[in-house]
Amino acid sequence: MKLFFLFGDVVTVASVGAVSGALCALCFSEAWPMLLAMFPGMAIGMIVGFGLASVAALWFGAFEVSVPSMLGGMLAGMAVSMAAAMRPVAVGEGWRIGLGVALAALLFTYLANAFLRGEQKV
């Protein structure tokens, strides 16, 4: 059963990152200052993360899905919006950047959870 939840986390976070990255690639250009593009990009990622995590929470649990999804969406939105402020970013490239950043955020949350829980007695 744990594999089911891992699959749900990966699919949800990957979807959030890809959609956030693609939307930010569409919304931002070199006309934006990088520091100012970061904040609306973060908001776009958080809105996408909230929406998709709310739907996925019905099957995979609210807390387990929402933390990595919100973090992944936020970081993906920030990364793609700042990249788009420096150079042109196509939608497909934004999709790939967002996907990679969100999956890195998922890995971080899994490692942080394991570290904070410490050694478990079975």
Per-domain residue ranges of the chain: 16-108
Q: What is the pLDDT of residue 14?
A: 96
Residue ranges in the chain modelled with pLDDT below 50: none
Query: What pTM was estimated for this model as a whole?
Result: 0.89
Cα of first residue to Cα of last residue in the chain, in angstroms, is 18
Residue % of the chain over a pLDDT of 70: 97
Q: What is the pLDDT of residue 122?
A: 62
3-state secondary structure of 32: coil
Q: What is the pLDDT of residue 82?
A: 96
